Chain A
Amino acid sequence: MGPDDIVLRVEDIHKKFGEKVVLRGVSFSVKKGDTVVVIGPSGTGKSTLLRCINQLTPPDMGRVFLHGEEVTNSGAKISYFRQKIGMVFQNFFLFDHLTALRNVEIALLRVRKMDPKAAREKAVYELDQVGMSDWADHFPAELSGGQAQRVSIARALAMDPEVILFDEPTSALDPELTREVLEVMKKLARTGLTMVVVSHEMGFATSVASEIIFMEGGRIVEQGPPHILMSDPAYPRTRKFVSQFADLAGQRKE
């Protein structure tokens, strides 16, 4: 593996909000085609970490690199990096006044300045990728949560990003809708999309992740391939966190 394979590199990210320290030096890198799933208890800075990557929340310290180019402190060039780093949010954040198709199309037209016909074709293609082409003319208020999230994934995909950050993409959805979103994400992982996913979906993490990162208290406690992290974690804290989910799954079967 050469350095060319590294899409995203995060170096020693620190962030505090007022007195509250949220991230205490987080470093990791993501290889091309990898799906990195970040797990850990609530309030440990997972979402803040994602927002520090595309500078929606500028970190206090540390650096982020996309293909070796520095994203942090990039000034006006941040727009360029954000086009290359897609993001999917827990609450979808679709644009309420635009149809599904226009939601996917708008950044192609306004940010990438694509030709209208080409933008339309691309938007239709991306909606088709997430199984939403039949809903192209519907507004966000007319979509279920799962459908809205799939449209928001199409919106991110349309920019041809190098990596997509998923911030708890299924936490606002019921189990059935969760499944339809996870199916789309699995498909994207298989097609070689590079993804960083903050999620509590252990099933997804186990079956799709190339690497799982366990975070607590603003630090990475442990990281590794899913079969090791889920079955034989090195640290007691990881063991405890992972076993809770195993218990939950066990109870559900009864």
Chain B
Amino acid sequence: MDTAPFITTVLVPALTQGLVITLQLIVLAAPFGLLLGIGIALGRQYGSRGVSVLCKLYVIFVKGCPLLLLLFILYFGLPSVGITLSAFAASVIGFILCNAAYNSEYVRGAILSVKDGQMVAAQALGMTRQQTIREIVLPQALRRAIPGLSNEFIYLIKYSSLAYMLTVIELSGAGKLVATKYFAYNEVFFAVGLVYLALVSITTAAVHILEKKVAVPGLIS
């Protein structure tokens, strides 16, 4: 096998296609995973007793369930109750559910770290509960949650490869197909690994810039 044509005509096109799918999975899952995570954290902390218990149960359930099992339920299990999802949709939904559960824990921890007195002061100024949460609690909590949330985003980059188990040919899957076809496991998987490493490195750098941008003296530095 000649290496140069293999890389340019086989490997790069295949991995590029896979990478596009991986990026689609991440770009669709991450924002909703973040929003749902914030919602669950707020529900647990400020919701009525019922809402709080529901949010807690959700987190317990998702944290206790292997992601692969969650994906199988969404893709293979739901059709029997009349909900049929494409492999791609099932993957994105599974990632959102998983991502949100862990994100909610980081956000909740950060909410608890906001000093109570500031909420009292906000109320004393006439702010409503919602205004206090939106203007005072969340801006501080989200800043403090950045390290945890970015960690979870990095996990998402890597566990997006599980979509391959639902037949979504994302980056890892594309690599696997090429590797099997050409019996070039080490070369291909090394190349795939480099792409993940690049994605994670870019994320880490971006988070670093974000943290600098939103830094507040005494809050996070």
Contact = CB atoms under 8 A, between A and B. Distances in A.
Interface stretch (A88-96, A122-130, A176-184, A216-224): A88-96
Contacts of B131: 110-111
A137 B74 CA distance: 51
Contacts of B53: none
B136 A95 contact: yes
Interface stretch (A31-39, A60-68, A79-87): A79-87
Nearest to B117: A93
B49 to A, nearest CB: 20
B117 A107 contact: no
A215 to B, nearest CB: 21
Interface stretch (B7-15, B77-85, B122-130): B122-130
B187 interface: no
B33 to A, nearest CB: 24
Nearest to B123: A56
B124 A79 contact: no
B140 A89 contact: no
Q: How many A residues are at the interface, by size bracket? A: 20 to 34
Interface residues of B, number: 22
Contacts of B118: 93-96
B216 A111 contact: no
A159 B117 contact: no
A87 B120 CA distance: 10
Contacts of A95: 118, 121-122, 136
B115 A96 contact: yes
Interface in A112-151: 139-142
A155 interface: yes
B101 to A, nearest CB: 26
A141 B140 CA distance: 14
Contacts of B218: 96, 139-142
B217 A141 contact: yes
Given A91-B117, A97-B216, A80 B126 contact: yes
B217 A139 contact: yes
B128 A79 contact: yes
B117 A89 contact: yes
B121 A93 contact: yes
Interface of A: 54, 56, 79-80, 82-83, 85-87, 89, 91, 93-97, 106-107, 110-111, 139-142, 152, 155-156, 159
Ranked nearest first, the 9 interchain pairs of A and B with the lowest CB-CB distance are: A141-B218, A93-B121, A83-B126, A93-B117, A107-B125, A87-B124, A82-B126, A79-B126, A111-B126
